[in-house]
Amino acid sequence: MPRPNRIVVLTGAGISAESGVATFRGEDGLWEGHRIEEVATPAAWWRDPDTVWRFYSLRRKALLDVEPNAAHHALVRLEREGPEMLLITQNVDDLHQRAGSSSLLPMHGQLRMLRCERSGRHQERMGEADLDPSTFVDCTCCSTPSRMRPDIVWFGEVPMGMDRIHAAIDALRMGDLCLVVGTSGHVHPAAGIAAAARNVGARTVLVNLEAPVNLHDFDEVHLGPAGGTLPGLVEAWLEEWNDA
């Protein structure tokens, strides 16, 4: 593959699952024992904030027990040694940040962050008291502290950074690279990124445990665990680009 001028990477739940992070989609449409409409919509927060808060508090606390894997570190190497790169992730964990990725856009929010319901400001809140599933967290940005919600894009809400994502795709040209890692191809608008990149002439490459529903959007497919597949791909690409 010739050296691209730009790279856009999209990662999904599959890359973090290899680190032990639970995924959204489970048997019979359940997500860790909850239906999506019970914990991952604005209506759920309005209707039963205690259940939603407990659910996300436990997920936030679980971040303390997982570590980045070889696939996360391979993307850091690609960013540092390769061309200009934007890493878009559907994941809400902090494994990309902890691995060292800097050009990162978490389009579905971040578990480490909370958002003030009144001002909309974001704060990183990971202290022991902030992780208590039985007590809501108040902001520090308002004169009268206001309750904070998880800084997560719930179903029915607009993903973060869409202008930046569109600009990154529009900037791709013939011979540039769009790499997709660990996604099912079910969730839009992220599922349309590969097709959009291909439409502007970029080469689309998939690394995934199994074939996604949008398999036809990819020029090159590598099926297998990301941690076992991606480091070798990145090594081969960098060697080829440096020798060119």
Catalytic residues: 108
Tokens of 127: 């202290």
Cα 35 from Cα 148, distance rounded (Å): 23
Burial letters for 99-122: b for 16+ Cβ neighbours within 10 Å, e otherwise? bebeebbbbbbbbbbbbbeeeeeb
Helix ranges restricted to H, the chain: 13-17, 36-39, 42-47, 49-62, 70-81, 95-99, 162-171, 193-199, 226-243
Place of tokens 């940005």: 141
Strand order of the β-sheet with 203-208 is: 104-106, 84-89, 6-11, 177-181, 203-208, 220-223
What span, in angstroms and rounded, lies between the C-alpha atoms of 125 and 129?
A: 9
Query: What are the beta bridge partners of residue 34?
Result: 31
- 182 within 8 A of 16, measured Cβ to Cβ: yes
